[in-house]
Amino acid sequence: MSHDENCVFCKIIKGEIPSAKVFENEDIYAFLDLSQVTKGHTLVIPKKHQQDIFQLDPETAAAIYKKVPMIANAIKDAFKPAGMNIINNNGSIASQTVFHYHVHLIPRYDETDGFTPVFQSHMDDYTEADRKSIAEQIKTHTVK
């Protein structure tokens, strides 16, 4: 298993930094985020150090997302949230602060629970032809 000696999440996995562990298997580690944006806010991380989605290999992604629903349902059963945001930030511009791939499971209780993602629509900025062109550009870079 590869680790980065300067990575706080790698240190958590190795037991060098304490954490409130929720789940662990051979591939992933899940623990409570110290910030507790809402009660039960959990991080799911690979044990193998991979910086972000751009470095994440398909096998590790599968291992993570195989367990995310199970952990989300455990949070739901424990705390009865009204919903849940499942978020992954990649790169500083996207608010990634720890550069070890991780998925946030943030239970939502009501509109005043302390977490407010905002998505602005730019639908009117793009024509149907623009959207088709963008889709084609992405398709040309997709591995088949």
Task: Report, as residue numbers or ranges, the catalytic residues.
Answer: 102
Name the strands in the sheet holding 28-32, side by side, starting at the edge strand that comes first in the sequence.
21-24, 28-32, 42-46, 103-108, 83-87
Q: Please spell the DSSP secondary structure of 64-105, one letter per residue.
A: HHHHHHHHHHHHHHHH--SEEEEE---SGGGT--SSS--EEE
Taking CA atoms, 119 is separated from 18, 77, 107, 116, 123, in Å, by: 35, 28, 18, 10, 12
